[in-house]
Amino acid sequence: RSQGRASARPASEGQTEMSILHALSAIVGPGNVITEASDLAPYLVEERGLYQGAALGVVRPGSTAEVAEVVRLCAAAGIPMVPQGGNTGLCGGGVPSEDGQSVVISTERLTRIRAVDPVDFTLTAEAGCVLANLQQAAEEAGCLFPLSLGAEGSCRIGGNISTNAGGTNVLRYGNTRDLVLGLEVVLPDGRVWNGLKRLRKDNTGYALQHLFIGAEGTLGIVTACVLKLFPRPREIATAFVALADLEAALPLFSRARTASGDSVTACELVPRRGLELGMRHVPGVRAPFAAFHDWMLLLELSSSRPGGLREALEEMLGQAFEDGLAVDAVIAESDAQRADFWRIREAIPEAQKKEGGSIKHDVAVATSRVPEMIRRCTRAVEAAMPGVRVVPFGHLGDGNTHFNLTQPEGADKAAFLARWEEMNRIVHDIVVEMEGSISAEHGIGRLKVDELAHYKPGVDLDLMARIKGALDPLGQMNPGKILRRP
């Protein structure tokens, strides 16, 4: 458990640690305070291996009351706390710092689904529920919980809420923020804020739950939530479309919205290089067309009223061929073929990982400016690093591009990654000049703390620091995430 410690500590401090760990065990029960290095390891490393933290231990409370007691104890002892869900976050927000002074509070035992209500169309669940399990519970009640992302088999709803996760259905259903009706949160002083309301309307002052959504665990620990459910789609039509050029994505997308009565649930951009890397590295990824095309769109339409979607899609695509926007297209004939299309899209990050180093950007601009942003950023990074392989993909319909860079063929990975900040600056400067966001859906965590400080206006930073100071005056809740340490 001393892995990564900056320096040896005096014996008295060691004894204090032992007594704190003992006290934590008394709250959560033996076996739920993890201190063995091999057991701790998965909680200390970030998904992409960017950070290797250290901690006094990992605590796994089994109820809201236990979370509150753990927080009270840590707060009184001056121990920083790091909330963690599935640890799939991509900005290092759930990983403790290297000094080994903090306690990780894992929600993985908070897995009860408290209620599914198909009349209110709500689901009430604890924060440690794995996203896929909530989707399943909604389905069993004949409903849909639409949040969907590549990590859904392991990320937990408290983590989704705390990162305000986006995913592939934002276009139709919104970000996680739009899917939450109420929250229960343990505050940094150990009090429980009960905002577990099922109300669609409630204008009684500040909407406190929104403070905690997207706060990345810096303002408290989400312990439970009320989520919105929707009717299940009864017809889904999915097409993979080869575009005449990148710019054609925009009219195609808006035509699909209009032609389908706004039933487009996903509109994902796939570049040729993304497909080629997927075919090289990820089993099951197959080319959708006989020829290769520079830019493709995965378009998905869905409706809870069956009939007419496929026809609308066919008609829209026929017109797009005539108008020279699309050069090829295939509509999924089965669930298996639909899954094949999605595999192409979802395989891109994994394929990039296997290809060597990648420098990532999760940026957003107004949808109408996505092609311009991609072209400008591509020119700029290629000029700065000849041979770099640009792989921009993702949620075109939301204006959100994962503008990722793969190392030049045969380049040294470490030398490539050493230029991470330089590449970030080039891309983020352009995005900010285009009135965009340097973090569309992954958050700030540790990774973008300096970028946020660089780009956010002073008033915004001041308001954020005041909110943090008001809720967590001692700065013990996930310190050093989102905001610099005071």
What is the footprint of ligand FAD within residues 284-313 (CB under 6 A)? none
Q: In what order do the strands lie in the sheet with 264-271?
A: 264-271, 295-303, 235-243, 326-331
Q: Which of 32, 84, 263, 404 binds ligand FAD (CB under 6 A)?
A: 84
* Contact letters for ligand FAD, residues 434-473 (x by CB under 6 A): -------xx--x----------------------------
Q: Does 274 help bind ligand FAD (rule: CB under 6 A)?
A: no
Q: Does 352 help bind ligand FAD (rule: CB under 6 A)?
A: no
Q: How many residues bind ligand FAD (CB under 6 A)?
A: 37
Tokens found for residue 90: 């991509």
Q: Does 156 help bind ligand FAD (rule: CB under 6 A)?
A: yes
What is the footprint of ligand FAD within residues 206-265 (CB under 6 A)? 216-217, 221-222
Q: Does 195 help bind ligand FAD (rule: CB under 6 A)?
A: no
Stretch that binds ligand FAD, among 155-163, 257-265, 384-392, 468-476 (CB under 6 A): 155-163
To 10 degrees, the CA torsion angle through 217, 221, 224, 226?
A: -40
3-state helix, strand, coil in the chain (%, to 5): 40, 20, 40
Angle subtended at Cα 190 by Cα 445 and Cα 12, rounded to the nearest 5 degrees:
85
Nearer to ligand FAD, 67 or 329 (CB): 67
* Contact letters for ligand FAD, residues 92-131 (x by CB under 6 A): -xx------------x-------------------x----
3 state SS for 308-372: CHHHHHHHHHHHHHHCCCEEEEEECCCHHHHHHHHHHHHHHHHHHHHHCCEECCEEECCHHHHHH
Q: Does 165 help bind ligand FAD (rule: CB under 6 A)?
A: yes
Q: Which of 17, 32, 34, 47 binds ligand FAD (CB under 6 A)?
A: 47
Gap between the Cα atoms of 218 and 210, Å rounded: 13
Q: Which of 159, 392, 399, 480 binds ligand FAD (CB under 6 A)?
A: 159
Gap between the Cα atoms of 335 and 355, Å rounded: 29
Gap between the Cα atoms of 322 and 330, Å rounded: 16
**Is 33 in a helix, a strand, or coil?**
strand
**Interface residue list for ligand FAD (CB under 6 A):** 47, 82-90, 93-94, 107, 127, 149-151, 155-156, 158-160, 162-163, 165-167, 216-217, 221-222, 349, 441-442, 445, 478, 481
